[in-house]
Amino acid sequence: MPTPHIEAKEGDFAPVVLMPGDPKRAEWIAKTFLKNPKLVTSVRGILGFTGEAPDGSLVSVMASGMGMPSIGIYSHELYTSYGVEAILRIGTCGSYQKDIGLKDIIIGEGACTNSNWMGEHSLYGGTFSAIADYQLLEMAVDATREKKLPLHVGNILSSDTFYDYRPEAWKKWANLGVLGVEMEAYALYANAATLGKKALAICTVSDSFLFAKELSSQERQEGLTNMVSIAMDVAMKYNACRTK
C-alpha cells in the first residue's frame, strides 16, 4: 500500500469511486455530497476523499487529472491496490451531434479512441472495443430518467488531443454516430476490462462543435450538479446490490 501515486492506507477507499478530472471539483463534490468526508490522498495535488453518501453507504471521490495516461495511472492503482471495484468517471465533453444540447447528459456506452492505448496488447492486429459495465450503465440510465434530465447513450470519443490541428477530423467520428468527445473513458474502460473491474463514464456537455453557445457559470454549475447526483445515485444503487 501506498502506491507510487496514491498515499492512502489499506481500506481508505470505498469499493466505488466517483472520478472527476479536476482535484478542486473532487473536493467540492466530497464536501457537498458526502457526510464526514475524509481526505485520504493528496499526492501531486490529486485529492481523494471517502465519506458517507446520503444513504449512509461509503463512497469515495478522487480526481483523475486530464487525459488517458493520467486516468490510466489512478484507475490502475485504485483497482489493483485498494480493492476498488467500480469507477464512475464524471466529466465534461464536447457535443458532435446537432440534437445534443449544452448541459445534456451523455453516457458512454462505448468509447472510441485516436490513441494507441490498447495497440500493444497482442491482439494480432485486431482492435479492442471499449465498453461500459452494463450493470452501471443500466443504473445510470434509470437514475437519469428518474430525474427527467435530457439523456443520450452511445459511443463517445476519448481523444489524445484537446486542440486538434485537423479542423475536419471530428466529422469522421460524428459521421459514425459518435455523440461527443472527452479525453479519458477509453483508458478507464480498457483498464477495467483488463483487470476484471467495472467502469462507466457520465458526461455533461460543456461545448458543441456545431453551435457557438457558451454555458453561463450558473448553467455549468447545474450541469455539474446533475451529473454528480446521477453518479451518486449509481454509487448507492451499486453499494445496495453488493450487500444483498
Binding residues for ligand HPA, rule: CB under 6 A, are 92-94, 159, 162, 181-183, 206-207
Q: Measure CA of the first residue to CA of the last residue in the chain; give whole Å.
A: 29
Q: C-beta of 182: minimal distance to ligand HPA in Å?
A: 5
Q: C-beta of 75: minimal distance to ligand HPA in Å?
A: 18
Q: Name the residue among 25, 69, 18, 75 with its Cα closest to residue 45.
A: 25
The sign of the torsion formed by the CA atoms of 121, 126, 132, 134 equals negative
Our answer to whether residue 207 is catalytic in this structure is yes
Q: Report CA dihedral (225, 65, 59, 143) to the nearest 10 degrees.
A: 40
Q: C-beta of 95: minimal distance to ligand HPA in Å?
A: 9
Q: Which is nearer to ligand HPA, 138 or 207 (CB)?
A: 207
Which backbone phi and psi does 113 adopt, to 5 degrees? -150, 155
Question: What grid cell was written down for 110?
Answer: 462505448
Q: Which is nearer to ligand HPA, 92 or 97 (CB)?
A: 92
> What's the CA gap between 49 and 228, in Å, rounded?
15
Q: Which residue among the candidates 22, 142, 160, 207 is catalytic per the annotation?
A: 207
> What's the CA gap between 63 and 74, in Å, rounded?
8
Q: Which is nearer to ligand HPA, 142 or 160 (CB)?
A: 160
Nearest-CB residue to ligand HPA?
94
Maximum Cα interatomic distance, the chain, rounded to a whole number of Å: 51
Q: C-beta of 241: minimal distance to ligand HPA in Å?
A: 30
Q: Which is nearer to ligand HPA, 96 or 238 (CB)?
A: 96
Q: Name the residue among 182, 176, 174 with its Cα closest to residue 157.
A: 182
The catalytic residues are 207
